[in-house]
Amino acid sequence: MVTAAQPLAYPLSVRHLGPNWYATVMGTSVVATAGAALPSHLPGLRPVLAGVWVLAFVLLLALFGARAVHWSRHRNQARAHLLDPATAPFYGCLAMALLAVGGGALTVGRDVIGLRAAVALDTVMFVAGTVLGLAAAVAVPYLMAVRHRVEPGQATPVWLLPLVAPMVSAAVGPLLVPHLPAGQPRETLLLVCFALFGLSLLATLVMLPLVFARLLTGGPLPLALTPTLFLVLGPLGQSTTAVGAFADTAPGVVPAPYSQGFGVLAVLYGVPVMGFALLWFCLATVHVLRARREGMRFAMTWWSFTFPVGTCVTGAEALGRHTGLVAYEGPAVVLYAVLVVAWGTAAAGTVRGLLRGELLAGPAPAPVAPRPVTVRTR
């Protein structure tokens, strides 16, 4: 029997370290970036947020090292992850982790490393994250079509992950626009981000009906996968954040009619999308409460409670800026409180699982059936 007094009961190895672990970086980074844009700032909050961003950056470096060892020593397992329809979509998390930490460098990380270093770091991570995100958005659906054997009944919100990565690029890219030379460089980057927004949005609109139909016709998701219902909030909140960032950046970057159009888009798009996000938040919550009553235990899927909720915080903050309505400031604060509690719960469960060795343990071997006993009869 394994007890709390027997830590590391399972062998620690990176053999089973999958790309889903980058969700820890995403969830940690969004705590810093979402907190930085809250309508009311508490005294001493900014240094705490900068510290959280440093933690996310350290986690990213640690995972880079561990995943490098994974690919060098367990290449067969890495290939198996790519060919597993349940694991391959998580390769989108690598791109989003890079983009989240890079965007956080300009938001709060500059307090630690300085503005010049923050711009350089964000530039590198934005380019790398965007390239990897586009590669995942093409490669993963391609593998699902030609190598994986999936059926409509297997659809889960995890399928959205590689498609959301370009939307994260669209949301954080405008932060770099003011640091480019005036004229075409700035306008080009802003319109590239707008193109990434459209790419991800249309792909999500194609995939989301499969997920919704599976939920309605196939019954509730398995207990361990139930938290992934919150992943649907990712493209909703992130797209609202993106159009808000376009409206913030567009004046003086694109011609006057289009800059005003971005401001209109931020409201006319963001308001109904955040309304649907609220509906989905309630739907996902009641599913999670049901699963919890039926014995849902901690798994790495609990990190689904963090980054998607964080994007709704930044989306509500963007709507508050562009509508001037206090009605969006209250939900942003409440959602941020939910985000912090979710992050603390997921982080505590992850640390506990690592200390016990359970999260990095391989699948348990199937029990060996006893040999049949033959009895001689007379």
**DSSP secondary structure, 194-217, as one string:** HHHHHHHHHHHHHHHHHHHHHHHH
Q: What's the token pair of residue 132?
A: 């990897």
Q: Which one-letter amino acid corresponds to residue 284?
A: A
pLDDT above 80: residue 344: yes
Q: What's the token pair of residue 74?
A: 């367990």
pLDDT at 363: 53
What confidence tier does 356 reach under pLDDT thresholds 50, 70, 90? confident
Tell the residue number behind the tokens 């996902």, with chain if given: 284
Averaged pLDDT for residues 275-291: 96
Return the sign of the alpha-carbon dihedral for residues 65, 340, 306, 197: negative
pLDDT at 361: 67
Q: What's the token pair of residue 203?
A: 């792909």
- Rounded to whole angstroms, the Cα distance separating 368 from 372 reads 12
Tell the residue number behind the tokens 């016990």, with chain if given: 356
The least confident of 137-146, 159-168, 225-234, 338-347 is 137-146
What confidence tier does 83 reach under pLDDT thresholds 50, 70, 90? confident
- Rounded to whole angstroms, the Cα distance separating 249 from 246 reads 5
- Rounded to whole angstroms, the Cα distance separating 158 from 207 reads 11
- Rounded to whole angstroms, the Cα distance separating 152 from 120 reads 43
Look at 135 and 81; give whichever has higher pLDDT.
135
pLDDT at 44: 81
Query: Of 263, 278, 272, 260, which Cα lies nearest the Cα of 331?
Result: 278
The count of other CB atoms within 10 Å of the CB of residue 115 is 13
The count of other CB atoms within 10 Å of the CB of residue 20 is 21
Query: What percentage of the chain has pLDDT greater than the value 70?
Result: 91
- Rounded to whole angstroms, the Cα distance separating 66 from 80 reads 17
What confidence tier does 370 reach under pLDDT thresholds 50, 70, 90? very low
pLDDT at 235: 96
Strand partners, 254: 251
Query: Of 16, 165, 18, which Cα lies nearest the Cα of 103?
Result: 165
Averaged pLDDT for residues 261-278: 96
The least confident of 23-32, 82-91, 181-190, 204-213 is 82-91
Rounded (10°) CA dihedral 23, 28, 30, 34 = 160
Query: Of 258, 127, 243, 233, which Cα lies nearest the Cα of 180?
Result: 127
- Rounded to whole angstroms, the Cα distance separating 377 from 54 reads 74
For residue 66, give Cα distances in angstroms to 61, 198, 211: 9, 34, 32
Query: What percentage of the chain has pLDDT greater than the value 90?
Result: 71
- Rounded to whole angstroms, the Cα distance separating 21 from 319 reads 31
Look at 252 and 358; give whichever has higher pLDDT.
252
pLDDT above 60: residue 10: no
What Rg, from alpha-carbon coordinates, does the chain have?
Answer: 22
**Predicted confidence (pLDDT) per residue in 189-207, tens digit:** 999 999 999 999 999 999 9
pLDDT above 60: residue 369: no
